[in-house]
Amino acid sequence: MRRLLNLQPSKPLRLALFLAPLGALLLAYLVFSDARLAENPQDRLLPAFSTMGDTLLRMATEPDRRSGELLFWLDTRVSLQRLALGVGLGALTALILGVASGLLPLAGASLSPFLAIIAMIPPLAILPILLIAFGVGELAKVLLIAIGVGPFIARDLEGRVRELPRELLIKAQTLGAGTWQTLWHVVLPQITPRLFDAIRLSLGAAWLFLIAAEAIASTEGLGYRIFLMRRYLAMDLILPYVAWMTLLAWLLDYGLRVLSRRLFPWYGAAGNKR
Amino acid sequence: MSELVLKNVGKRYGETVVLERLNLTLTAGDFCAVVGASGAGKSTFLKLLLSELQPSEGTITLGGRPLPPEPGPERGVVYQRYSVFPHLSVLDNVRFGLERTHGDPLFGRTWGARRRALRAEAEALVDAVGLSAARDRFPGALSGGMQQRLALAQTLALKPELLLLDEPFGALDPGNKKAAHDLLKTLWRDRGMTVVMVTHDLSEAFTLAKRVLVLDKTREDPHNPERYGASLTYDIPVDNGLPPREAAPRELSA
Ligand SMILES: Nc1ncnc2c1ncn2[C@@H]1O[C@H](COP(=O)(O)OP(=O)(O)O)[C@@H](O)[C@H]1O
Ligand SMILES: [Mg+2]
């Protein structure tokens, strides 16, 4: 018998092991849902898959009576737009601050401790401030996401820049590059794949801030919808919405990973660990 | 031509003396190897010549003028590792210095005929170090020996007066090392720059250099080993088919 730590699953076994927990979860849901519905056909807590499918289809294909919009697609579009703007704004600011702080000792002396302090502020605690300052419009929600992920990304990138071999920065200078050209031709290209990694890591937090902001101050969006439907115990809508958000989050992560591999073929090959 | 002169150069970190009383004159076109035990201060010596570090005492002049206070294109360097840019192809690594020194002041980029001419120049250098077949590959896909040959081509593209090498072939297996040695010898003969190579490999020092300098402590304080630093203790001319500079080993400092 080989040691457990040396045992590798075969290909079919790997697939089976991958599907097992998901299957078990679905099966358990089916069993409990059937049991509750058999007792009380009006039960709303664990709706049948067919009910959830009908509800989702209605949200996606029938215009809302009041606004005339297809709510499912409206919610998706609005939420993704907020997420993209917030993460984009946060990441861009973080790139500028993090690289400046990591590369230039003069900037670092000021930015490094500042970012460390800013990163300690619980972002949700400043949501009321954002709502007071910017009202319930898009800006407050986008800023919450940007402030939520920005300091984390900035500090990550700052560390990555400091980790760049000193030799490469000296080398660039012996090849005629000054500060700006070293930044542009050496530091930025080598740090951009790290930025992709940092964004992927911060997407989970970005979703959290998106849903929180939408739950508190919004009139549409995926987060708004599920918190609205909570009042009606509409599990037949909430559950498919959660599944849809999970799928979107996974797709974003996967897309960024593929894009990063396309854009930076040298990354990971040069002894850089992913 | 530019002579490199060190006068009473020393380097300290607080109480720790790493180098002391270095006196040396290198004429243009010298190939000198610096040997010494690990931790003797060989890399520190090279960093002083590169202006990555400033001496605590003494003066260094290049061609009669004080050494520029920051690294620049008049001095090239090749390290044992991290000498080439991992995000640039072989050809773009060689083009890097040419573009930066000939390009616009902001981004250091060239256009048109000049861009093509510089590209051709870089291609010729890539061919000269035997990397034509790997021109479009990233350094991560090259062997250690190929990476060091690329590093030489990249550095020599700017025709530095002074070429500084810090254990450049220390990580290579014997076959690759031999090929790299031959290449370095050829490049030095053809181009005539001054070379300072740091190594802990004595046989490498004596096969390549015209002159071998020994970095070692001349005095020891058993109670406080950091009180004294290393100096250049021997300056040994080497006859490896080239006219020797001196008749016999000369002791530099007592
Ligand atoms: N920043 C520093 N602070 C204190 N000591 C240092 C520093 N850098 C190097 N040293 C010391 O200088 C000595 C020489 O280092 P180095 O030049 O790297 O040696 P070598 O290249 O010959 O192996 C070592 O003993 C090292 O501990
Ligand atoms: Mg060393």
Which tens digits make up the pLDDT trace of B11-55?
999 889 999 999 999 998 899 999 999 889 999 999 999 999 999
pLDDT tens digits, one per residue of A209-263: 999 999 998 899 999 999 999 999 999 999 999 999 999 999 999 999 999 999 9
Mean pLDDT across B166-187 = 91
Across chain B, what does the average pLDDT equal?
90
- Mean pLDDT, chain A, rounded, equals 94
Lowest-confidence range among B116-130, B189-203, B233-247?
Answer: B233-247
pLDDT for residue B249: 52
8 Å CB contact of B87 and A168: no
pLDDT at B251 (0 to 100): 58
Buried b (16+ CB within 10 A) or exposed e, B51-88: bbbebbebebebeeeebeeebbbbbbbbbbbbbbbbbb
pLDDT of residue B129: 93
Contact B37, B216 (CB under 8 A): yes
CA gap B122, B129 in Å, rounded = 11
Tell me if B175 sits within 8 A of B207, measured CB to CB: no
In the predicted structure, residue B140 carries a pLDDT above the cut 80: yes
Q: Which residues contact B118 (CB under 8 A, 6 or more apart)?
A: B95, B98, B99, B102, B110
Give the 3-state DSSP-derived string for chain A, with helices as H, strands as E and coil as C: CCCHHHCCCCHHHHHHHHHHHHHHHHHHHHHHHHHHHHHCCCCCCCCCHHHHHHHHHHHHHCCCCCCCCCHHHHHHHHHHHHHHHHHHHHHHHHHHHHHHHHHCHHHHHHHHHHHHHHCCCCHHHHHHHHHHHHCCCHHHHHHHHHHHHHHHHHHHHHHHHHHCCHHHHHHHHHCCCCHHHHHHHHHHHHHHHHHHHHHHHHHHHHHHHHHHHHHHCCCCCHHHHHHHHHCCCCHHHHHHHHHHHHHHHHHHHHHHHHHHHHHCCCCCCCCCCC
B16 lines ligand 1 (CB under 6 A): yes
A residues 177-196 lying closer than 8 A (beta carbon) to B: 177, 180-181, 184-186, 189-190
- By Cβ distance, the residue of B75, B81, B140 closest to A174 is B75
Q: Using one digit for the tens of pLDDT, what is the confidence trace for A166-201?
A: 999 999 999 999 999 999 999 999 999 999 999 999
pLDDT-derived band at A271, boundaries 50, 70, 90? very low
Is a pLDDT exceeding 50 seen at residue B246? no
pLDDT, residue B223, reads 83
Domains of chain A: 71-269 (1.10.3720.10)
| Calpha distance B204→A250 (Å, rounded) | 55
The pLDDT of residue B254 is 40
Within 8 A by CB and 6+ apart from A182, the residues are A103, A169, A172, A173
CB A131 within 8 A of CB A144: no
Is residue B209 over pLDDT 70?
yes
Section B138-160 average pLDDT: 95
How far apart (Å, rounded) are the C-alpha atoms in residues B3 and A31? 88
Give me the pLDDT at residue B216, please: 87
**Residues B173, B82: Cα–Cα separation, whole Å:** 18
Task: Find, among A218, A63, A208, the residue nearest to A148 by Cα.
Answer: A208
More confident residue, A255 or B251: A255
Judge: B108–A177 Cβ closer than 8 Å, yes or no: yes
For ion ligand 2, residues whose CB falls within 5 Å:
B 43
C-alpha B172/C-alpha B165 separation (Å) is 14
pLDDT of residue B244: 45
Residues of B in contact with A165 (CB under 8 A): 81-82
- Predicted TM-score of the model (pTM): 0.90
Q: How far apart are CA A199 and CA A153, in angstroms?
A: 7
Q: How far is B146 from chain A (nearest CA, A)?
A: 14
Nearest-CA residue for atom 25 of ligand 1: B39
Strand partners, B13: B16
- Higher pLDDT among residues A262 and A269, named by residue: A262
- Tell me how far CA of residue A5 lies from CA of A8, B163, B167, in angstroms: 8, 51, 41
Q: How far is the CA of B42 from the centre of ligand 2 (A)?
A: 6
Q: Which residues share a beta bridge with B19?
A: B11, B230
**pLDDT per position as a tens digit, A14-35:** 999 999 999 999 999 999 999 9
Given the DSSP bridges, would you call strands B162-166 and B4-13 parallel, antiparallel or unpaired? unpaired
**pLDDT: which is higher, B231 or B54:** B54
Write the CB contacts of B99 (distance below 8 Å, at least 6 apart in sequence). Answer: B108, B109, B110, B118
| Mean pLDDT of the region A89-103 | 98
Q: Where are the alpha helices (DSSP H) in B59-138?
A: 90-102, 112-128
Percent of chain A with pLDDT over 70: 98
pLDDT tens digit sequence for A107-129: 999 999 999 999 999 999 999 99
How far is A12 from chain B, CA to nearest CA, in Å? 33
Treating both helix axes as pointing N-terminal to C-terminal, what angle do A188-216 and A235-263 enclose, rounded to 10 degrees?
Answer: 170
d(CA B73, CA B83): 15
The DSSP symbol for B67 reads: P
Binding-site residues on chain B for chain A (CB distance < 8 A): 50, 52, 70-73, 75-77, 79, 81-83, 85-87, 96-97, 100-101, 106-108, 138-141, 154-155, 158, 160
Strand-strand pairing, B31-35 and B162-166: unpaired
Beta strands B211-217; B31-35: pairing state: parallel
ipTM here? 0.91
CA dihedral B190, B193, B194, B196 (to 10 degrees): -80
Amino acid B247: pLDDT:
45
Q: Are strands B57-62 and B4-13 parallel, antiparallel or unpaired?
A: antiparallel
CA distance A51 to B196: 79
